[in-house]
Amino acid sequence: MAPGVSCGINTMLSNKLVREAIESGFVTELSGYQSVRSEVRYGNENSRIDLLLESDPPENNPPCYVEVKNVTLVNNGVGLFPDAVTARGTKHLRELMFMVEQGARAVIFYCVQRKDCGEVRPAETIDELYGQTLRQALAAGVEALAYRFQVSPAEISPVQRLPVNCL
């Protein structure tokens, strides 16, 4: 980590931060939903989704399944995920693809809690399968969002959307 760069590493906190950013309207790409539920069972591999966004009536927007990933590894301004091999992360991408096949909306959301990151990419040298599966998921209609959050001793707040590049 670069000197003087605070980094949020609590993966449970990233779910809360993303939920608050969605509910406050900061994440405009995920607006228009009336409810947000956490840890809802879904998919065909016995998973739990981090956030399920729903509308009433559901015809207004299909349900939106949001899987949150905390990005802690940054190299030369590029946030890399994962920072270790993640069979679970790859499973989540498969589950999101399944939900798109079922007619739902699905989003992989990268929460970057550090200021020295300008984009997010899959960490191919760490987990090649995750990178391959991410590209398959995007081709299948899964959306990828990344947002940078400012970390300070007093608070953590959303700052800006970052590009997700899957070269």
Residue 22: CATH number of its domain: 3.40.1350.60
What is the C-alpha to C-alpha distance for residues 12 and 50, in angstroms, rounded to an integer? 10
**pLDDT at res. 1:** 47
Q: Are the C-beta atoms of 99 and 106 separated by less than 8 Å?
A: yes
35 inside domain: yes
136 inside domain: yes
1 inside domain: no
55 inside domain: yes
Look up residue 86 and give its two tokens.
């993640």
**pLDDT at res. 167:** 67
* Mean pLDDT confidence for 27-55: 94
4 inside domain: no
Residues whose CB is less than 8 angstroms from the CB of residue 118 and which lie 6 or more positions away in sequence, other chains included: 77, 78, 162
Predicted structure pTM score: 0.94
Among the listed residues 140, 142, 138, 141, the one whose alpha carbon sits nearest the alpha carbon of residue 165: 138
pLDDT tier at 27 (50, 70, 90 boundaries)? very high
6 inside domain: no
Number of domains in the chain: 1
3 inside domain: no
What is the C-alpha to C-alpha distance for residues 103 and 95, in angstroms, rounded to an integer? 13
Q: Which domain holds residue 30?
A: 11-162
Q: How far out from the chain centre does Cα 163 lie? A: 12
pLDDT tier at 42 (50, 70, 90 boundaries)? very high
Among the listed residues 84, 98, 65, 76, the one whose alpha carbon sits nearest the alpha carbon of residue 9: 84
Q: Are the C-beta atoms of 130 and 86 separated by less than 8 Å?
A: yes
**pLDDT at res. 90:** 97
32 inside domain: yes
Q: What is the pLDDT of residues 78-133, one digit of tens each?
A: 999 999 999 999 999 999 999 999 999 999 999 999 999 999 999 999 999 999 99
